[in-house]
Structure 1
Amino acid sequence: MTIAFDLWGQRGWPSFDIVGETFHEKQIRAVLGKNFTSGAEVVVVAQLHPEPNNKHDRNAIAVWSGAHHLGYFPREEANRYGAVLSALIGQGWTPQVNARIWASEWDGDRSDRYFNASVRLDLAEPHMLVPANMPPASAHRLLPTGSAIQVSGEEKHLDVLATYLRPEGECWAHVTLHPVVEQLARSTRDVVEVRIGDERVGQLTPKMSAELLPAIHHLQAQGEIAAARAIVKGNRIKTEVVLYVARAHELPESWLGASGPPEPVVVSTAPAVEPRREHAPVPPQPTGIRFTVPPDWPQPPAGWVPPPGWRPDPSWPIAPDGWQWWSPVWD
């Protein structure tokens, strides 16, 4: 049994081309559905499975959508991505990303009939697939991804940020957002302080703070800390922190509720999984249901966060690594 892990760095526009679609026409047709028409385009969740026993290429990485095999990474790309994806698989996780499938068909004479398909993945560079730190240990919710917001004052915290400097020049990290009152010469103002772990790494301008404070206060009222995705980039003399987070007015109503967006499903190894659609229906409200992770399940990878809408269950003991016990909360 493995658990789905949504790779970080997805930006909403699939641009990573896979290969071999021609040899998987039947599988791609199955994903497109019975009502397929030429020029159709769908977005599905795709799972990425390294194949170390592949007789043609031991570095091969297969792309699946549920039970349907769509193709492979190009050989040179498989060499680049193999290590990080294999590490996730080795820890019991199934890496997954959004995939765009486009297909066309022409039904001329039998000799002229053709089917053409293209599959592209929303895939970041290998070093940007998994965050560099674990999520906050306290109750929190990860704000949805949005456009960039520059953090200010990082130059005062280079000692903290040095831990996150990478040879590639950048990495993802979990940050938390905290409302603070800034003392001015004759007045005060509310701003957002940005922390990694328990350490301050900067703050947002008053204008940008105003864009996020309503969401932060909303979560505070529910006993939660606002967390966000951030990129730490630079070197030991100049480091920047950039948040990628939705503003308060951009948050969907479904996220503002107690349940949050639909949670990721638990998937098993290919080919026996079902794809998770972007707009999967929210399950009905549970009654006295408690979700517990069996003892033989794998440990979470670095940077794992619980599915949105799941909370620590205070009536059950929390395991040392803090992830075994979670209970669903739905409207």
Structure 2
Amino acid sequence: MRLFGRRSKGSDSPPPAAWYAAPDRLGFFRYWDGSQWTDQYRPVQRASTPEQPEGTSRSGLPESLWSAVRPGSLASEVRDAARRGLDRVMRTERAPELKPVKPWARASVWQNVVGESHYREAFLRIVQETRARRGEYGTDIDGVSALVIAEPRNEYDPNAVAVFVLGHKVGYLPRDAAALYSAPLQDLADRGEALAVEARVWVAPVDDTEMGGSVSLMLPPAQGVQSFNDLPGVPCQVIPQGGAIQVTGEDQHMDVLGKYVGDGERHLAVTLHVVEEQKTERSKPYDCVEVRLDGHRVGVLTRAMSEKMVDVVQYISDRGKLPVCRAVLKGSSLRAEVVLFVAKSHEVSQRWLDAVDSGEDCAE
């Protein structure tokens, strides 16, 4: 099998026969017979350095040839391939420096990652860093966080989406899925952020020298990577995600909601406000939680549900921040409904409340 069969005009002599870092197989050396690649491979750990002649590099290529080969020649192709192979063996590809952010919509779909066989060194590192217990047939690592990052400059696919676990690249989203997620993920990257999701990692020996693995991710819908509308441009606090709460009275605000509806669900950021409501002239006023979309009222919570939300809404408001929560809009310009996904007052933790009180950048 010839991987470097073309000679350019004026090419210099090819490198001597030796073992070189295989450009086509991670973690292996491949034998170059002086004119072409052979089908002989040896694991890196078994390609013993003492067999290499004095004055050779770690790849087996004589040091004098690293700089002596003519650009574009057969020798330079072999040299560059050996360097690439060595780089892949010696290190893993690290994630860009981006701030991890949770998806706006609830993550609900498991997605398998592809291309893991090209990143076997990463799986070895993951096992080492997590100190995961190795079973008889492999290691199952649950509950780790993965970053999902668009790669618009990928030479094979401008919609490529890379996956990193513990900072190590482990593969990519399949092409069809990447086409859906690339744009919203690139929007995050433009803001210096990266989508952080739950991952499951399975690691098992490929042979006695290498680890291989597989990864699956819990992803949100592509349209829910970030909110459809922008968060308020004033200090605000996102309330942790919780169960579904139906908003009432949306039919009275279709002039606003009609501008946001689409063919599918819209994952929105809405603000919550404590207002005084009175059902009839004779009824007693009560504290009600009003829902606003980009500053416009789009409904209220029922009296019973307002009682469960008013404390946390007021707590945030009293500290000079605007309470924000996740919402889903469904319907058409004729009629639509809004559902909140937010933790009630008794469901938020004391640690979270303390962080809000201290002004820290608290997690949801």
Aligned to 1:243: 340
- How far residue 259 of structure 1 moved from its aligned partner, in angstroms, is 4.8
- What is the rounded CA distance, in whole Å, between the counterparts of 2:158 and 2:313 in structure 1? 47
RMSD: 2.9
User: 1:131 Cα deviation (Å)?
Assistant: 1.1
Is 2:110 aligned against 1:56? no
Indicate whether 1:256 and 2:353 are aligned.
yes
Name whichever of 151-160 and 23-32 sits farther off: 23-32
Contact 2:159 2:179 in 1 (8 A): yes
Out of 197, 200, 218, the residue aligned to residue 98 of structure 1 is: 197
Give how far 1:87 is off. Answer: 3.6
Distance 1:76 1:229 in 2: 27
CA contact (8 A) 2:150 2:185 kept: yes
Change (3 A) 1:135 1:10: closer
Does the 8 Å CA contact 1:254/1:261 hold for their aligned counterparts? no
Change (3 A) 1:49 1:82: same
Task: Classify 1:198/1:132 alpha carbon distance in 2 versus 1 (closer, same or farther; 3 Å).
Answer: same
Quickly say closer, same or farther: Cα 1:124–1:261, change in 2 above 3 A. Answer: farther
Aligned pair in 2 of structure 1 residues 210, 45: CA closer, same or farther (>3 Å)?
Answer: same
Note the C-alpha offset of 1:143. 0.3
**Which consecutive aligned stretches of 4+ in structure 1 deviate over 4 angstroms post-superposition?**
113-116, 259-263
Change (3 A) 1:14 1:100: farther
Name the counterpart of 2:235.
Answer: 139
Partner residue in 2 for 1:190 = 287
What number of residue pairs does the alignment pair up? Answer: 261
Residue 23 of structure 1 is matched in structure 2 by 118
Q: For residues 79 and 65 of structure 1, do their structure 2 counterparts lie closer, same or farther at Cα, with a shift above 3 Å needed?
A: same
Secondary structure of the 2:180 match is: helix
Gaps of 5+ in 1: 264-306, 310-331
Identify unmatched segments of 5+ residues in structure 2.
1-95
TM-score scaled to structure 2, two decimals? Answer: 0.64
TM-score (norm 1): 0.70
| Equivalent runs, 1:130-169 vs 2, <5 Å | 130-167=226-263, 169=264
* Pair 148,29 (structure 1): closer, same or farther in 2 beyond 3 Å: farther
Q: Report the secondary structure of 2:156's partner residue.
A: coil
1:82 offset after TM fit, Å? 2.1
Could you tell me whether the CA contact under 8 Å between 1:194 and 1:201 is conserved in 2?
A: yes
More helix by share: 2
- Residues 71-150 of structure 1: pairs in structure 2 closer than 5 A: 71-89=171-189, 91-105=190-204, 117-150=213-246
For the 8 Å contact 1:145–1:244, the answer to whether it is kept is yes
SS of 1:32's partner is helix
Q: Would the aligned equivalents of 1:32 and 1:42 in 2 still touch at CA under 8 Å?
A: no
Cα distance in 1 for residues equivalent to 2:356 and 2:252: 38
Counterpart residue number, 1:11: 106
Q: Secondary structure at the match of 2:259?
A: helix
Distance 1:188 1:165 in 2: 33
User: In the alignment, is the contact (CA less than 8 A) between 2:197 and 2:217 conserved in 1?
Assistant: yes
Residue 26 of structure 2 corresponds to none
Percentage of identical aligned residues: 31
SS in 1 for 2:120: helix
Hey, what's the Cα distance between the residues in 2 that align with 1:162 and 1:5?
33
